[in-house]
């Protein structure tokens, strides 16, 4: 199930997040110290500048060139250089371990603990961010591996507190 997302206020950016697992992971990575809308628009901005979001191609880019792309105005984040390095590293892991497709991180995973463990291996995905992402997949995409509510705790409940809980444009 692919649900409509209403995160960025930009329909094209929200569609990219909905349809591209790598974009969704990058958006979640950027979701710190900036408004959620700005963070989750980052993958769309990168895609517009590069013409793609292919993890293997991003990972193969010269890091200084990729940092420059992310620092162009408007920057993808309040700290665009450091976040660009994390994105570059994230894309290298996706390319190497998940056949160049961010959605393969969760595709076919039956146990939420396994999903959580995979997410924790990514740069910038600490405990809370990994739990929020598990909740996001469950609440917005219907991806509910066994034990997801326990793993996502406290974000698996019905309180409005994260990107996982946004269910309308208003």
The answer to whether residue 59 sits within a structural domain is: yes
- What whole-number distance in Å separates Cα of residue 5 and Cα of residue 61? 30
Residue 148 domain-assigned (yes or no): yes
Split at pLDDT 50, 70, 90, the class of 7 is confident
Phi and psi, residue 106, nearest 5° = -110, -15
Domain region containing 17: 11-165
For 153, the enclosing helix (H) or strand (E) is: none
pLDDT, position 9 = 86
Question: Per the domain annotation, does 170 fall within a domain?
Answer: no
Residue 47 lies in a domain: yes
Quick one: how far is CA 107 from the chain centroid?
A: 15
Is residue 104 domain-resident?
yes
- Identify whether the C-beta of residue 62 lies closer than 8 Å to the C-beta of residue 82: no
Classify burial at 140, counting beta carbons within 10 Å of its beta carbon; exposed 0-12, middle 13-18, buried 19 or more. Answer: buried
The count of domains in the chain is 1
List the one residue out of 69, 158, 77, 148 whose CA is nearest residue 111.
148
Supply the CATH number for residue 87's domain: 1.10.340.30
Contact 45, 21 (CB under 8 A): no
The single-letter DSSP state of residue 166 is: -
Domain assignment present for 88? yes
Q: What is the pLDDT of residues 64-104, one digit of tens each?
A: 999 999 999 999 999 999 999 999 999 999 999 999 999 99
- Asked if residue 2 is part of any domain, the answer here is no
Give, in degrees to the nearest 5, the angle at Cα 34 between 33 and 40: 120
Per-residue pLDDT of 95-147, as tens digits, reads 999 999 999 999 999 999 999 999 999 999 999 999 999 999 998 899 999 99
Residue 36: the pLDDT is 85
Residue 6: inside a domain: no
């Amino acid at each position: 199930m692919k649900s409509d997302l209403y995160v960025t206020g930009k329909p094209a950016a929200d569609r990219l997040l909905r349809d591209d697992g790598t974009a969704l992971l990058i958006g979640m990575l950027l979701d710190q110290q900036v408004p959620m809308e700005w963070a989750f628009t980052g993958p769309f901005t990168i895609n517009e500048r590069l013409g793609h979001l292919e993890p293997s191609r991003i990972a193969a880019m010269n890091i200084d060139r990729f940092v420059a792309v992310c620092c162009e105005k408007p920057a993808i984040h309040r700290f665009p250089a450091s976040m660009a390095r994390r994105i570059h590293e994230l894309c290298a892991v996706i390319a190497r371990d998940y056949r160049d497709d961010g959605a393969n991180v969760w595709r076919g995973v039956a146990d939420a603990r396994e999903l959580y463990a995979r997410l924790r291996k990514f740069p910038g995905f600490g405990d809370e961010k990994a739990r929020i992402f598990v909740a996001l997949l469950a609440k917005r995409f219907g991806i509910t591996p066994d034990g997801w509510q326990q793993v996502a705790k406290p974000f698996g409940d019905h309180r409005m507190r994260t990107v996982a809980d946004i269910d309308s444009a208003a």
